[in-house]
Amino acid sequence: MKEIVSTITSKGQVTIPAEVRRYLGVTQGDKLSFVIDDTGSVGLKVTTYPTVASLRERGPGLDRDLSYDEMKEIAHADRLAARQPSEA
């Protein structure tokens, strides 16, 4: 386990060290979620929101445009899958 320290500013902001950004694969504009578990431990995870292009790539019938409802359905399935614990 590796510990990397960062300082909180007077505005409550923290710079995420470059090594951590690389590890998480995040860049400017990406969203992070702070997750507090039942034991009080705090974790950090990348929160991704699907783009129209990424939804289209995953949807049925790639030879046609997806409807708004089809894109919503795919995005909803992605959110549900993200909530499931990953298998190790």
Q: Which CATH number fits the domain that encloses residue 44?
A: 2.10.260.10
The DSSP output letter for 85 is P
**Domain enclosing residue 6, as ranges:** 1-48
Average pLDDT over residues 2-26: 92
pLDDT at 13 over 90: yes
Kindly indicate the confidence band of residue 6, based on its pLDDT and cuts at 50, 70 and 90. very high
Shared domain for 6 and 29, answered yes or no, is yes
Shared domain for 63 and 36, answered yes or no, is no
Shared domain for 57 and 43, answered yes or no, is no
Longest CA–CA separation in the chain, Å:
52
The DSSP output letter for 22 is H
Residue 88's pLDDT is what? 45
Q: Which of 40, 18, 31, 28 is nearest to 82 (CA)?
A: 31
> Can you read off the two tokens belonging to residue 73?
């359905």
